[in-house]
Structure 1
């Protein structure tokens, strides 16, 4: 069984691309996921992406080669939030 990992990203207009704002494995990952759920932040599960993003440092901008896949994640989050707002 693989150990659970979580990476939290943030994006605003001040940055060129999303940045890593939290990351962890095991119990730390569980706490990140719990906090996300507590604040109604959608959770997107992709182990391969989590491994790649986990190699970045906190407050580091994601590399250009991950822009497309992270854009897909943000599109997923937007769709989830839109469905929630419609309810």
Structure 2
């Protein structure tokens, strides 16, 4: 049986503090479940993109993402911004 393990990556970006977004958590299986559970607990939008998770999962924790991923990660943050706006959230991420 070739069942794929669930994977998850958490991103962070503080506009006035960070040069670029960074991976703040990454894991498979139980760890992925924990990352997703924390996001749900804190009402953080979840975007499912297996290809992007594969790429981001290879990066070191708390290191800024490489420039070649800026465009795709900016689309993730745009998704979060739109989702927050639709749900009436004012807090920035």
TM-score band (shorter)?
A: over 0.9
Using the size of structure 2 for normalisation, the TM-score is 0.88
Q: Which runs of 5+ in 2 are unaligned?
A: none
Match of 2:86 in 1: 83
Kindly report structure 1 stretches of 4+ aligned residues shifted beyond 3 Å.
Answer: none
Q: 1:2 aligns with which of 1, 4, 11?
A: 4
Residue correspondence of structure 1 range 34-73 to structure 2 within 5 A: 34-73=37-76
Provide TM-score, normalisation by structure 1.
0.94
> In the TM superposition, what is the alpha-carbon distance from 1:14 to its structure 2 partner?
2.0
Tell me the number of residue pairs that the alignment of Structure 1 and Structure 2 aligns.
86
Question: How much has 1:16 moved relative to structure 2?
Answer: 1.1
Which ranges of structure 1 fall in alignment gaps of 5 or more residues? none
RMSD: 1.1
